[in-house]
């Protein structure tokens, strides 16, 4: 398989890089993995001059066996080894090759980490992700939920997620190919410990054309199910195949491969490891193409198929609460994204709800998911996403976004109580990225436009909480609110207010750019603001700002300080006392 190169390496270095073929190796140089974590190893040579005359690939000095060699085109050669893994320790992979122009060589170093078995290790993980819930988003939500004593300015308390934690960290992130992330590669970093390209899910880069063939990286969820026989679950308020939930077990270069992601949830594709509990929206990716509204390109009906596979199925809140699942639970509660918490619980406008008037809250889905998953004595991994926190910050609708943080916080409260009664459970609350949101003053709703903004002492104190909804959460309608802005915007009209029927902040100008939505600009007190994003951007964007992390229960003390997002993966594994290399099934 491997052959020794006879030419002199010194010659290659003399000729310099301009002559040499380019070599890319994945896992990338400096990657850390868990010992025993599976991945697809890939080596890609490009800009080969003439024929590939010879090559040698070694791992820790020994020829690497089992590589499949391919070529994507002229001057290219690739080597792939699927589903391999490393034993604990430092490793070096060396590739040397010779073509007509001479020789090229590249070496990468990897670290495969080992975790000690802890006496009081976690067995279960509940990972909450507030999508787009940076520190500032969380801070704004707390001000709404708790506020201050107007007599003396003393804060009235913290959110449930900010209270009674065993560990707290500030998290930074970045992508393989950019220092800004999207939800797909960010969640992938949390689930695999690797840096991943924007819009990719749990794969390394490659030159492949088939997005589903990209080099896979095993996620913590997949590891726990494969090695320990744990159950896997995902709960979110977005469409089910969206990027964050997909990070549990999907592997693709393109987060938009919705049909393939739906299939991977049921164990078709990827590493073939199915999820046991799925509660979310987006039924359009699970119903056959013959059903109007389906996004599938085939006749698969996962609703009936899932029931044949033993999943209990629910499509409304009533059905979910009445369900007595035996381990496997599948719930689709909307054809697309859930309407926001305020739409479902407070405003209830038919324009926003349509026929979906019996939908579960995030905390109810969390509870039912745990009820199903916790039947497995081998433990479980559950991801709960407050997905619409992000989806409403993008169009600058901070009102909807922030109340969805409060819904998420209620779910965290439930999980904290569960962890208190089940001390082998680790609960983590974090975000995948931030938005450019900031609270810069108070707002007097008896006024309109800029006149209503009060800063410093004129900000006074918000009066949220003077009226509460049926769940005890403050109503958005109050005398004094918060003045909220975003640092990165398209052209839009500012009104300082939420609105019961959603409106996009911008509309297309028909020439590839966007202009402020005239329907918003007609609202009382509205005035136009020139955006600072490039004119082809319709919405607010993700930022490089830091994110919170709170940890509760077993192993929570491992989460502290300023950490990169990839570290969340390793510390969860550490809290689980998880050593996939030694714990062979």
Partner 1 sequence: MRLMLVALLALGGLSLAQASLEFSELYSKTTIRGVEFSPKLQALNGKSVQMIGWMAPPLKPKLDFFVLTKAPMATCPFCSSAADWPPDIVLVILPPGRTADPTTQRIRVVGRLEVGIKTDQDTGFVSLVRIYADRIEKAQ
Binding residues (CB under 8 A) for partner 1: these are: 239, 243, 254-256, 283-284, 287, 289-295, 303, 315, 332-337, 354-356, 395, 503-511, 514-515, 517-519, 538-539
In angstroms, the CA 254 to CA 243 distance is 10
Q: How far is the CB of 503 from partner 1 (least distance, A)?
A: 7
3-state secondary structure of 575: helix
Residue with tokens 């999980």: 415
* Residue 119 C-beta: closest distance to partner 1, Å: 45
Per-position DSSP letters for 328-382, written without gaps between them: -EEEE--SSSPPPHHIIIII--HHHHTT--S---HHHHHHHHHHHHTT-TT-EEE
Among candidates 469, 507, 422, 580, which has minimal Cα distance to 87? 580
For residue 339, the minimal CB distance to partner 1 (Å) is: 12
Candidates 183, 186, 294, 374; catalytic one: 183
> What are the tokens at 171?
């998290």
Q: Which is nearer to partner 1, 438 or 537 (CB)?
A: 537
In what helix (H) or strand (E) does residue 258 lie, and over which residues does it extend? helix 258-265
Element (H, E) at 40: strand 39-46
Closest C-alpha to 159, from 574, 552, 528, 571:
552
* Burial of 538 (C-beta count, 10 Å sphere; 0-12/13-18/19+): buried
Burial class of residue 512, CB neighbours in 10 A (0-12, 13-18, 19+): exposed
Percent of the chain as helix, strand, coil, to the nearest 5? 25, 25, 45
Q: How far is the CB of 308 from partner 1 (least distance, A)?
A: 17
d(CA 13, CA 80): 26
- Other C-beta atoms lying within 10 Å of the C-beta of residue 116: 9
Cβ pair 343, 327 in contact under 8 A: no
β partners of residue 333: none
Place of tokens 């085109």: 73
Q: Which residues contact 450 (CB under 8 A, 6 or more apart)?
A: 527
| DSSP-derived pairing of the beta strands 167-172 and 547-553 | antiparallel
The C-alpha R_g of the chain, in whole angstroms, comes to 26
CA dist 27 and 396 (Å) reads: 38
- Phi and psi for 354 in degrees, rounded to 5? 60, -135
DSSP assignment letter at 562: E
Number of C-alpha atoms within 13 angstroms, CB side, residue 191?
A: 38
Q: Are 295 and 285 in contact (CB under 8 A)?
A: yes
Q: Which two tokens stand for residue 71?
A: 């070529």
Tell me the two tokens of residue 563: 């950490």
Instruction: Copy the structure tokens of residue 278.
Output: 């799925």
The SS3 of residue 381 is strand
Question: Residue 130's closest CA among 428, 421, 510?
Answer: 428
Instruction: Identify whether 183 is a catalytic site residue.
Output: yes
Catalytic center residues: 183
């Amino acid at each position: 398989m491997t052959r020794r190169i006879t030419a002199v390496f010194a010659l290659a270095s003399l000729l310099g890089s301009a002559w040499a073929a380019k070599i890319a190796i994945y896992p990338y140089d400096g990657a850390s993995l868990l010992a025993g974590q599976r991945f697809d190893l890939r080596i890609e040579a490009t800009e080969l001059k003439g024929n590939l005359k010879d090559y040698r690939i070694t791992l820790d000095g020994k020829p690497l066996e089992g590589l499949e060699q391919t070529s994507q085109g002229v001057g290219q050669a690739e080597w792939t080894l699927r589903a391999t893994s490393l034993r604990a320790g430092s490793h070096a992979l060396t590739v040397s090759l010779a073509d007509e122009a001479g020789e090229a060589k590249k070496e990468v170093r990897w670290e495969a980490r080992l975790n000690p078995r802890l006496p009081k290790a976690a067995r279960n993980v509940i990972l909450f992700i507030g999508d787009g819930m940076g520190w500032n988003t969380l801070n704004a939500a707390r001000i709404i939920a708790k506020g201050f004593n107007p007599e003396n300015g003393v804060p009235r308390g913290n959110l449930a997620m900010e209270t009674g934690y065993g560990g707290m960290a500030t998290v930074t992130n970045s992508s393989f190919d950019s220092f800004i992330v999207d939800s797909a590669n960010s969640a992938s970093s949390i689930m695999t410990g690797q840096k991943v390209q924007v819009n990719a899910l749990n794969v390394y880069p490659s030159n492949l054309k088939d997005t589903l063939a990209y080099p896979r990286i095993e996620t913590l969820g997949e590891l726990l199910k494969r090695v320990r026989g744990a159950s896997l679950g995902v709960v979110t308020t977005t469409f089910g195949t969206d990027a964050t939930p997909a990070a549990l077990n999907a592997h693709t270069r393109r987060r938009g491969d919705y049909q393939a992601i739906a299939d991977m949830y049921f164990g078709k594709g990827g590493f073939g490891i199915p999820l046991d509990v799925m509660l979310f929206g987006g039924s359009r990716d699970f119903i056959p193409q013959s059903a109007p509204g389906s996004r599938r390109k085939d006749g698969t009906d996962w609703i009936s198929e899932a029931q044949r596979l033993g999943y209990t199925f629910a499509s409304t809140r009533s059905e979910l609460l009445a369900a007595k699942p035996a381990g496997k639970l599948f719930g689709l509660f909307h054809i697309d994204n859930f309407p926001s918490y305020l739409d479902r619980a407070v405003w209830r406008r038919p324009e926003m709800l349509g026929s979906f008037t019996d939908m579960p809250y995030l905390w109810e889905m969390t509870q039912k998911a745990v009820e199903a998953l916790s039947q497995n004595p081998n433990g479980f991994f559950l991801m709960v996403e407050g997905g619409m926190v992000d989806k409403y910050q993008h169009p600058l609708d901070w009102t909807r976004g922030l109340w969805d943080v409060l819904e998420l916080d209620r779910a965290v409260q439930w999980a904290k109580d569960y962890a208190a009664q089940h001390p082998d459970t680790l609960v983590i609350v974090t975000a995948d990225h931030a938005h450019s949101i900031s609270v810069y003053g108070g707002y007097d709703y008896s006024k309109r436009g800029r006149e209503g903004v009060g800063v410093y002492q004129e900000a006074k104190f918000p009066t949220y909480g003077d009226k509460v909804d049926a769940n005890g959460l403050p109503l958005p309608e109050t005398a004094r609110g918060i003045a909220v802005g975003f640092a990165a915007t398209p052209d839009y009209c500012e009104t300082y207010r939420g609105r019961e029927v959603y409106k996009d902040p911008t509309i297309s100008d028909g020439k590839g750019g966007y202009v402020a939505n005239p329907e918003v600009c007609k609202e009382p007190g509205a005035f136009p603001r020139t955006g600072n994003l490039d004119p082809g951007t319709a919405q607010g964007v993700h930022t490089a700002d830091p994110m919170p992390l709170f940890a509760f229960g077993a192993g929570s003390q491992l989460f502290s300080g300023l950490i990169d997002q990839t570290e969340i993966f390793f510390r969860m594994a550490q809290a689980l006392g998880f050593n996939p290399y030694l714990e062979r099934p």
